[in-house]
Amino acid sequence: DIQMTQSPSSLSASVGDRVTITCQASQDISNFLNWYQQKPGKAPKLLIYDASNLQTGVPSRFSGSGSGTDFTFTISSLQPEDFATYYCQQYDNLEVTFGPGTTVDIK
Amino acid sequence: QVQLQESGPGLVKPSQTLSLTCTVSGGSISSGNYYWSWIRQPPGKGLEWIGYIYDTGNPYYSPSLKSRVTISVDTSENQFSLKLTSVTAADTAMYYCTRDHPEVTNAYDIWGQGTMVTVSS
């Protein structure tokens, strides 16, 4: 099984801050890495697919990078609506695994 | 625009079988080579992939749940379903059905609203 880790598990930030979350896979997953945003009581929303591609309709302040085992998700200027939990997710060799999540809250 | 809606009992007794259905509207479950998946989330915890059925006929399950899970498709009803046997309190969760992105395998761009299932006697 491929295991995913995320860091930090939570962070506090202010509106306008640059936020970076990292995700690490236990083995090489190429670029089969997606990022989701989940707000309380809502289903997750796909933001980034294949490590660096912005899903249609998602603001350009969100970005992703990386390949192999190490990936980064960035919010360039945090907005009030961005306070949420973010998950990475890999798909490789038929199986799917989610990272444990990173909660971004207000400082 | 395709939409998904989960349905099923909100309360299941321990040792019984959890059965959920996901109804697809706005498109045919038979069109396109999609992965139709189930994902769950225990209260206050993260997301767990349960499994998918690909192109309406080829299921694949999480190794940790494989012995208890069945995912199937009913094309006549435009639905796919989840059965989880021998449930325990650890199976209490919000259950989501999803469909993947038309160009990216297992990137879930369409989600149902979720249905909460509690396992309790």
Q: Can you tell me the mean pLDDT for A52-72?
A: 98
Which amino acid type is present at position A23? C
Contact A34 B107 (CB under 8 A): yes
A68 Cα to chain B: minimum distance (Å): 17
* Confidence band, pLDDT 50/70/90 cuts, at residue B45: very high
Contact B109 A55 (CB under 8 A): yes
pLDDT digits (tens, 9 = 90+) for B34-43: 999 999 999 9
Q: What is the pLDDT of residue A106?
A: 87
Q: Which residues contact A92 (CB under 8 A, 6 or more apart)?
A: A2, A29, A30, A32
Q: Would the pLDDT of B103 be above 90?
A: no
Q: Would the pLDDT of B55 be above 80?
A: no
Taking CA atoms, A106 is separated from A10, A11, B1, B48, B62, in Å, by 11, 8, 34, 26, 35
Match 């990078």 to its residue by tokens: A65
B13 Cα to chain A: minimum distance (Å): 24
How far is the C-alpha of A79 from the C-alpha of A59, rounded, in Å?
11
Q: What is the pLDDT of residue B42?
A: 98
Q: Can you tell me the mean pLDDT for A77-89?
A: 97
Comparing alpha-carbon positions, the chain A residue that sits nearest to B58 is: A94
Determine contact, residues B71/B81, Cβ cutoff 8 Å.
Answer: yes
Contact B46 A99 (CB under 8 A): yes
Q: Can you tell me the mean pLDDT for B12-17?
A: 98
Q: Would the pLDDT of B56 be above 80?
A: no
